[in-house]
Amino acid sequence: MAIDLLSLKPHQVSRDLSGYITYIYGEAKTGKTTFASQMPQPLLLAFEKGYNALPGIIVQDITSWGEMKQVVRELKKDAVKEQFKSVIVDTIDVAGSLCEKYVCGQLGIQEISDAGWGAGWRLLKKEFDETFRVIAQLGYAVVFIGHDKLGEVTREDGTKYNKYQPSAATSVNNTAKNMADIYAFAKKYEVNGTAMVKLIFRSMDNSADTGCRFKYIVPEIPDFSYKNVVDALNKAIDDEMKANGNRDLFTDKREVYAMATQYSLDVEAKRFQDLISPLMTKDKEYFSPRITSIVDKYLGTGKKVSAATPDQAEMIYLINCEIEEELVPKLNQ
């Protein structure tokens, strides 16, 4: 796809929670799955059983990463897109473990650390990241649900303190929280003997790992529910508009992530031949070294388009664009 910067319009921020990636972790039985089940047209990917008390929820049990990859293929179908708008990952802990097992199988090793020098962890992060970015790019909202753990953290001055964090593997957790627009911690507490659950968007005392892309969102809501989360999001948006007066940059339409462009090696290789053929016919001595220089820039010195792999299809696309812009106009000079 050609880039046209002049066609770009100002980005609009969605008021609909389904326009975002949400990651909520916390203690057991704090309503995390119940919250996620209230997302628009949800599909629950049950990596562990936590939906027995949710009547009517549509569930796909996942017992291997191979099944997860099958789900991604299904999610690309138009009929599936009509039925589902949100994808719930319950839990990210087990999803990460299955992804790790899959990568180990690819590498023929028992433990991810056996790949050496962090290579296994990088492949795990890449596999996990690409899987869920594809789902988001297809237009689905994504909700990650995770367990918590209380871990020891060292301050810059060397002192230590306890902090709530997700219990998922670090590489998986970091991938998910970097993707998330809302990254929050669900915690139980009591008010006059009544059990409550609060959702912490920003931990003011730094006792929990949290974060949110919305500058004006409240630090926490005292009663965790789907409605209250959406209300907090909309209040943050209203406060942003009051502060900056940019009302036109907010919308009730759900955000759809841009799909990564797919390039075909066969298509681009044929386009390359179609572009260079008239050039070489007109003046081989002039155009040949210039074509070679462009190819070398993208594929490396001495490399040939005819030897390119499918992974290099985008490189051939860029070669074609440069030939089209720099050399083809010279045909009529």
Give the end of a domain, one of 251, 282, 297: 251
Structural domains in the chain (count)? 2
Give the end of a domain, one of 251, 279, 314: 251
* 83, 194: one domain: yes
Q: Would you say residue 125 lies in a domain? A: yes
- 245: region left, alpha or beta (phi > 0 left; psi from -120 to 50 alpha): left
- Could you tell me if 181 and 141 are in contact, meaning their C-beta atoms sit under 8 angstroms apart? no
* pLDDT(110) > 80: yes
Pairing of strands 250-251, 13-14: parallel
Q: Return the pLDDT at 171.
A: 87
Nearest CA among 149, 136, 146, 147 for reference residue 181: 136
Q: Return the pLDDT at 314.
A: 84
* pLDDT(54) > 60: yes
Q: Return the pLDDT at 185.
A: 96
Section 184-203 average pLDDT: 93
Q: Return the pLDDT at 16.
A: 64
What percent of the chain has pLDDT above 90? 47
* 163, 298: one domain: no
* 219, 275: one domain: no
Q: Would you say residue 47 lies in a domain? A: yes
* 206, 169: one domain: yes
* pTM across the whole model: 0.71
* pLDDT(260) > 70: no
Q: Would you say residue 259 lies in a domain? A: no
Section 229-258 average pLDDT: 70
* 162, 76: one domain: yes
* 287, 238: one domain: no
> What's the rounded Cα separation, in Å, for the pair 114 and 120?
7
Range of the domain at 90: 15-251
pLDDT (tens digit, 9 = 90+) per residue, 69-84?
889 989 989 999 999 9
Q: Would you say residue 70 lies in a domain? A: yes
Section 255-264 average pLDDT: 60
Q: Would you say residue 56 lies in a domain? A: yes
Q: Would you say residue 144 lies in a domain? A: yes
> Is pLDDT larger for residue 247 or for residue 173?
173
Q: Return the pLDDT at 195.
A: 92
Q: Would you say residue 212 lies in a domain? A: yes
Would you place residue 52 in the very low, low, confident or very high pLDDT band (cuts 50, 70, 90)? low
SS (H, E, C) the chain: CCCCHHHCCCCCEECCHHHCEEEEEECCCCCHHHHHHCCCCEEEEECCCCCCCCCCCCEEECCCHHHHHHHHHHHCCHHHHHHCCEEEEECHHHHHHHHHHHHHHHHCCCCHHHHCCCHHHHHHHHHHHHHHHHHHHCCCEEEEEEEEEEEEEECCCCCEEEEEEECCCHHHHHHHHHHCCEEEEEEEEEECCEEEEEEECCCCCCCECCEECCCCCCCEECCCCHHHHHHHHHHHHHHHHHHHCCHHHEECCCCCCCCCCCCCHHHHHHHHHHHHHHHHHHHHHHHHHHHHHHHHHHHCCCCCHHHCCHHHHHHHHHHHHHHHHHCHHHHHC
* 229, 281: one domain: no
Per mean pLDDT, which range of 177-181, 187-191, 242-246 is the poorest?
Answer: 242-246
pLDDT (tens digit, 9 = 90+) per residue, 112-122?
877 777 788 88
Q: Would you say residue 116 lies in a domain? A: yes
* pLDDT(10) > 60: no
Section 273-281 average pLDDT: 94
Q: What CATH number is associated with residue 199?
A: 3.40.50
* 244, 270: one domain: no
* pLDDT(5) > 90: no
* 306, 182: one domain: no
Q: Return the pLDDT at 293.
A: 94
pLDDT (tens digit, 9 = 90+) per residue, 160-176?
889 999 999 888 999 99
Q: Return the pLDDT at 266.
A: 93
Q: Return the pLDDT at 261.
A: 64
Give the end of a domain, one of 209, 225, 251: 251
* 216, 117: one domain: yes
* pLDDT(11) > 50: no
Q: Return the pLDDT at 7.
A: 64
* 110, 187: one domain: yes
Quote the mean pLDDT of the chain.
86
* 325, 233: one domain: no
